[in-house]
Amino acid sequence: MAEAGADIGRVRIRLPATISKGEVIRVRALVTHPMEILSFDKDRKPIQKNYHFVYQIVVTYNGKEILQAETTQAVSQNPFVAFPLKVTEPGKLVITFTDTHGKSYEGSAEITF
């Protein structure tokens, strides 16, 4: 399941091809991440080494936090989110994914008209 290997943490963001001012656009973001499931051995003890998933997604636009998500292991491998964004001014969109190993993965996109 964890064959993603070195690719872990690659964030991809897709925006519509044309954006006009004041429009509500749809942003799609994806991070390569194994989202490993916490497994149990036969004594119902959690196996710690399998425990590795993205638990927080924060989206900022021009430095202002506009959306935040708390995810669990019940989100698929290579977590994908799509959300709307009302663009009133050009700016920088930053999406940060944080996982349970304390690593953060950041992706950004410039929004221009």
Partner 1 sequence: MQCALARAKLTRRGILRALRLIGSTGVAVSLGLGDFMQVAAQQAQRGMPQPDEKVDETINRLFGNRSIAPADGKVKLEAPLIAENGAVVPVTVEAELPMTPQEYVKNIYIIADKNRRPLNATFSLTPEVGQATISTNIRLAQTTDLRVVVEMNHGALYMVQREVKVTVGGCGG
**With contact defined as beta carbons under 8 Å apart, do 107 and 77 qualify?**
no
Contact characters 10-29, partner 1, x per CB under 8 A = --------------x-x-x-
Query: Of 19, 86, 89, 77, which is closest to residue 53 (Cα–Cα)?
Result: 77
Q: 24-31 and 80-86 as β-strands: parallel, antiparallel, unpaired?
A: antiparallel
Based on the shown chain and the rule CB under 8 A, indicate whether residue 86 belongs to the binding site for partner 1: yes
Based on the shown chain and the rule CB under 8 A, indicate whether residue 81 belongs to the binding site for partner 1: yes
- Residues near partner 1 (CB under 8 A) are 24, 26, 28, 37-40, 44-46, 51, 53, 55-56, 61, 64-77, 79-86, 98-100
